[in-house]
Amino acid sequence: MFPAHRPRRLRTSVAMRRLVCENFLRIDDLISPIFVVPGSGFAKEVVSMPGVYQLSVDKAVEEAQQVADLGIPAVILFGIPEQKDAGATGAWHDHGIVQAATAAIKKALPDLLVLADTCLCEYTDHGHCGVIVPGDTVGKVLNDPTLEILGRTAVAQAEAGADIIAPSGMMDGMVSAIRRALDAAGFMDTPILSYAAKYASAYYGPFRDAADSTPQFGDRRTYQMDPGNRREALKEIRLDIAEGADMLMVKPALAYLDIIHQVKEASDLPVAAYNVSGEYAMVKAASLKGWVDEERIVLETLLSMKRAGADLLLTYHAKDAARWLTR
């Protein structure tokens, strides 16, 4: 008890604080998202995500170059196809936009890891993460028929050079379906980062502007998780581990730090946290108004995710964070 214990003794100087610091951010942990669109020479800022752009493939390669130059090890690609249809053709076609961008980025930057988000919502005309019965007006996604398309999509992405397959659609059995499809195509060494505990969240709003993937009817609550549920996240990760996931993701991050912590405790796989679009937009808006110190807010927020247990951070702040961490 006081006066024997004085915790402030270990906070007296910069050097002392460095010595006892428990958690750090590392550039090595960052994954920077890129939104790819058709065309060339095209760059358009996403209105609700200042500093984030929809980029044509040539511009996406330039963006990937900047990411690599900052020492960030990986990008994750999201695609907006020329045309959307009921069968999500743009997702699995050899000439799909993510496949084209992956090939171009890997050609220019072989050492930069390319993650492919594997989902159908950007490619279906109705904006749901899988196929539906024709005429459906509520968005009841058919699970098992969707698995076959996800497997095909993952193989097309791997063939284009994707280093990591990241399924985000919250379909039951998606990890095992993708594992089987990859193995059958000879990609037994391509890892799967499963969006294992992904909640039906309002924090995805700005992303859906960026990826043009807002459901045309209904919502995603029949496949994404209920924000009130914690134990269900354990069920989801247990299943994904059993199905062969190599890494697990929790999404969103900031409002779900308890889930990140619990997933880390419950598994021995690397855990990724997705600092999603709405989290980015809130920080960006307050920063632009001059209401918060952007650098300190961003680094503290990302650090909270590491402290909760995240090993990897997917964040739209990745390039800024890398610059700040380098200084």
Say how far apart CA 306 and CA 72 lie, in whole Å: 16
Annotated catalytic residue 44 = no
Of 169, 249, 264, 308, the residue at the interface with ligand PBG (CB under 6 A) is 169
By CB under 5 A, is residue 91 in contact with Zn ion?
no
Taking the complex as a whole, how short is the minimal distance between the CB of residue 314 and ligand PBG, in angstroms? Answer: 8
- Interface mask (CB under 6 A) for ligand PBG, residues 180-219, using x and -? ------------------------x--xx-----------
Of 308, 174, 185, 295, nearest to 250 (Cα)? 308
Stretch that binds ligand PBG, among 15-23, 60-68, 116-124, 262-270 (CB under 6 A): 116-124
| Interacting residue with Zn ion among 68, 129, 158, 160 (CB under 5 A) | 129
Nearest to 61 by CA among 137, 161, 149: 161
> In whole angstroms, what is the distance from residue 200 CA to residue 74 CA?
26
Catalytic-labelled residue, pool 198, 264, 306, 319: 198
User: What is the signed CA dihedral for 153, 154, 158, 159, rounded to 10 degrees?
Assistant: -30
140 is catalytic: no
> Given the complex with ligand PBG, which of 207 and 256 has the nearer CB atom?
207
Between 141 and 248, CB nearer to Zn ion: 141
> 226: Cβ–Cβ under 8 A, 6 or more apart, which residues?
199, 200, 232
Backbone phi and psi for residue 55, each to the nearest 5 degrees, phi listed first: -130, 140
Please, what is the minimum distance in Å from the beta carbon of residue 188 to Zn ion? 26
Query: Parallel, antiparallel, or unpaired: how do β-strands 312-315 and 49-56 relate?
Result: unpaired
Which sequence positions are flagged as catalytic?
Answer: 198, 251
The residues that touch ligand PBG, with contacts defined as CB under 6 A, are: 117, 119, 121, 129, 168-169, 204, 207-208, 220, 276-277
